[in-house]
Amino acid sequence: MRFLDYNVDEFFDEMFGEDGRPRSSARTLVRNIECLPDGELLNRQKAAERALLQMGITFNVYGENAGTEKIFPFDLVPRIVPAAEWSRIEKGLKQRIHALNLFINDLYHDQKILKDGIIPAEIILSSKAFRKQCMGFNPPRGIWCHVTGTDLVRHSDGNIYVLEDNLRCPSGVSYVLENRAVMKSMFPQVFAQSKIRPVANYPSRLRDMLEFLAPDGVTSPRCVLLTPGIYNSAYFEHSFLAQQMGIELVEGRDLVIDDGYVCMRTTKGFERVDVIYRRLDDDFLDPKCFRPDSMLGVPGLMEVYQKGNVALANAPGGGVADDKVVYAYVPRIVKYYLGEDIILPNVPTYICSEPDDLKYVVEHIDQLVVKAANESGGYGMLVGPHSTKEQCAEFAEKVQANPRNYIAQPTLALSRVPTVVDGHFEGRHVDLRPYILYGKEIFVMPGGLTRVALKKGSLVVNSSQGGGSKDTWVLADSPITEPDDFNSPPAPPTLAGAAA
Amino acid sequence: MSATQLPDLSELDAHMLSRVAESIYWMSRYVERAENVARFIDVNLQLMLDDPSGEGQQWLPLVNTTGDHDEFKKRYGTATQQNVIHFLTFDAENPNSILSCVRSARENARTVREIISSEMWLQLNKFYLMVNGAAEDNSRALANPHEFFTDVRNANHLFNGITAATMTHGEPWHFFHMGRMLERADKTSRILDVKYFILLRSVQDIGTPFDDIQWAAMLRSASAFEMYRKRHGRISPRGVVEFLLLDREFPRAIHFSLLAARDSLHAISGTPLGTFRYPAEKLLGQLCSDLSYAAVDEIVNAGLHEYLDDLQDKMNQVGADIHETFFALKTPKTSKRSMQEQRQ
């Protein structure tokens, strides 16, 4: 297959410049793809899809029969990020997470940022994700947001913007790892010729982070991954990560509180659990503390947590910083806590609870993307330019009825990447979700999930709304030293003094 | 086998989640059940093919022996080859159909994917896709059921082989093995029972060449024909019952299966063989002893069907006891101290 008739149109294309020539970062790949015999790329695409189905790498779709599975569509053409650009993204993400963690900690202690009037207090206090049960609590090692998946987009101006902070239970990292495994088997020669930074040690990093949180005095902590169960859309990922980390995958019913500790039910009785990587929302975590009707959680878990006898990642209450209204204040949050200007800018955001903004949003709703503050997965949002008049009017009413719950942003012209459609290449819009771990230090996975809107012209990349994924290649500017095997041993510790 | 040969898994520090043990146990039982339902239908198909008069077209006994008689009557009415095969093979509403079994096995596997090997998962998933595909367009499978049932059998053989070769033979594997062997013992007893129902109808055939053909067909469906020949030579009802019920070495025989289940049960619990701590160990041990000292003539004279019926009840009780002991842990009883000791 050739790129001869490929057209970048008026969008920023991640692979080709405006002149239609491949960007320097993409030249090796373009050459390799063009050298493939006719039909070969399509064959590889089909082989990849068959492998994904047989491996059962699927997700569940809500609103259809429980247990309805689909493969997450996968496109073979990767998104490539040059080294220098990545280095800026990495710095920006570290800065953002650092500040957000300080912010959450402040909210549950002195609330200085509210007292100083940087953010209106009612925005925080009215947030569904603000948990007054967490007031005054000090989470293990002072960390609230252990795992973050920040959504980035590139606009037609060429700049990268942060679209969303996902601080609760961001999913998708398993697809990053599986996509990479598929790509390495499909394009070994390109990997050999390029310096693509590996992503495969993410599970080890994740496990290290979890063990770092263990209560004091526990030398070999038992970590578990708490899943809502098999009907959760991300169940495959939960199971995959538990397997790759070599930890137990548990459901709420496997855990029980005994004498101030969390224990799991084994065939030989109850055994203590020290760290829980929970992939369950705050609401469902503990029916005694949050939603009393939750069948998925562990009654009494929060009490054990607050006594310091078990660690939870991410920390309950941290979702307050993931509120889409709070998002609008992140540049000010960074400035307030770190005294720095934000490195990765936000998308300009209208806050509907502010009267002027609300008026603008209602009047221009057909040009805007409107989002509910507490929804994710592409649910509860409106893309104005792609909606009917009726849909816009209906949404405008919802916004006016509950302005606090909505924000709006200009419709961005997301950048595109060539994508295989009906046997040739067409540009499709993408975003990028890198994953960040906050343990002993802040670690940004070199890569992430590139989600692609497979429908022509669509800007919605969510898997539940017809999105697919691509591998993301972050290029190294120096030789690669990181291990790239699931089971490779950790790097030897640096000798003291050797680093000087 | 002496008690000292069994590894004592109870002393190892990492124990399985009860839920995981239960899922592995049921995954294994469901796959084995799917295979046996296939064998079960196949034995009847073979019997019908060898009945040139066509008078003996008996399909209802199959439904009777799986215990789903009322359900079948309500939804299908009169039993025919077509609708019985459909009910037992592709009927998604029948929890014991091959389709439902493979689905349930896969659902269980999905909850323990991080425990089983990825090869096991891959094979079970392919098995599921095969049966599910056949169910969506079942004309081919119904036109040539023997071929389809052979595919089902082979898929399970492959799954079991992959499991034996890729899964550590520790506690999870013993739950797998125990489930499989209990299921197999139960289903072999039902395959024997099918013959009993056919016998009821054709008492005038006993001892005729047609009767011999029937027994041989049944042996073939249990993959037992050649092995039987080596052991007993001439085909006789008494010999077949002895072989499928009491043989200690043929892997589909009830006695063999229960001994294997018992060994895995003791490997899990750490209780020395010949003794018991749990109800399941007591009952299963008694069953194995019974079979060790049973004489086939006594069984046949007293009534094979009654004997098998009683055996099935007891095997069900073993299953219930296993559930109580290993899966249904309700409230913490361990004190903090004993828990901390466990952690060392």
Share of chain A above pLDDT 90, in %: 58
List Cα–Cα distances, A143 to A104, A225, A438, B21, in angstroms. Answer: 9, 18, 7, 35
**Which amino acid does the sequence have at B202?**
S
Residues of chain A with a CB closer than 8 angstroms to some CB in chain B: 53-56, 67, 229-230, 235-236, 239-240, 242-243, 248-251, 253-254, 256, 258-261, 263-272
Structure tokens at A451: 């989600």
Query: Alpha-carbon distance A297 to B277, whole Å?
Result: 34
Establish if A96 belongs to a structural domain: yes
The domain total for chain A is 1
Establish if A399 belongs to a structural domain: no
- Chain B, 122-181: which have a CB under 8 Å from a chain A CB? 122, 125-126, 129, 171, 175
Model confidence, pTM: 0.81
Establish if A377 belongs to a structural domain: no
Contact B19 A254 (CB under 8 A): yes
What is the per-residue pLDDT across A111-156, written as a single tens digit (0 to 9) for each?
999 999 999 998 898 888 899 999 999 999 999 999 999 999 999 8
Mean pLDDT: which of A41-55, A58-72, B49-63 is highest?
A41-55
Our measurement of the distance from residue B276's CA atom to the centroid of its chain's CA atoms, rounded to an integer in Å, reads: 24
Q: Are A213 and A313 in contact (CB under 8 A)?
A: yes
Select from B94, B126, B96, B95 the least CA-distant residue to B109: B126
> 3-state SS of chain B: helix, strand, coil percent to 5?
75, 0, 25
What is the per-residue pLDDT across A256-279, written as a single tens digit (0 to 9) for each?
999 899 999 998 888 999 999 999
Q: Which residues neighbour A271 within 8 Å (Cβ) at sequence distance 6 or greater?
A: A222, A263, A264, B15, B339, B342, B343
Structure tokens at A283: 């609401």
Locate the chain A residue with the closest alpha carbon to B340. Answer: A272
Q: Are A427 and A8 in contact (CB under 8 A)?
A: yes
Query: Alpha-carbon distance A245 to A262, whole Å?
Result: 20
Q: In what helix (H) or strand (E) does residue B145 lie, and over which residues does it extend?
A: helix B145-166
Residue of A57, A265, A274, A277 to mutate, interface with B, max B Cβ within 10 Å: A265
Chain A residues in contact with B17 (beta carbon < 8 A): 248, 250, 254, 264-267
Chain B residues in contact with A261 (beta carbon < 8 A): 336, 339
- pLDDT (mean) for B143-152: 89
Query: Alpha-carbon distance A307 to A309, whole Å?
Result: 6
- pLDDT (mean) for B114-129: 91
Residue of A268, A276, A298, A487 to mutate, interface with B, max B Cβ within 10 Å: A268
Taking the Cβ of residue B242 and every Cβ of chain A, the question of whether any pair is shorter than 8 Å is answered with no
Locate the chain A residue with the closest alpha carbon to B130. Answer: A54
Establish if A356 belongs to a structural domain: no
What is the per-residue pLDDT across B162-175, written as a single tens digit (0 to 9) for each?
999 999 999 999 99
Contact B129 A54 (CB under 8 A): yes
Name the residue facing B332 among A230, A239, A258 (closest C-beta): A258
Contact A258 B329 (CB under 8 A): no
Our measurement of the distance from residue A407's CA atom to the centroid of its chain's CA atoms, rounded to an integer in Å, reads: 20
What is the per-residue pLDDT across A461-486, written as a single tens digit (0 to 9) for each?
876 677 899 999 999 976 555 444 44
Distance in Å, alpha carbon of A54 to nearest chain B alpha carbon: 6
Establish if A360 belongs to a structural domain: no
Tell me the backbone φ, ψ of residue A166, rounded to 5 degrees: -110, 100
Task: Give A223's strand partners.
Answer: A275
- pLDDT (mean) for A284-296: 89
Establish if A491 belongs to a structural domain: no
Q: What is the CA radius of gyration of chain B?
A: 21
A64 is in which domain, residue-wise? Answer: 24-347+412-474
Establish if A100 belongs to a structural domain: yes
Contact B114 A269 (CB under 8 A): no
Beta strand A424-433 with A435-438 is: unpaired
Name the residue facing A266 among B18, B111, B122 (closest C-beta): B18
Contact A269 B329 (CB under 8 A): yes
Establish if A470 belongs to a structural domain: yes
pLDDT category, B3, cuts 50, 70, 90? Answer: very low
Q: Are A72 and A117 in contact (CB under 8 A)?
A: no
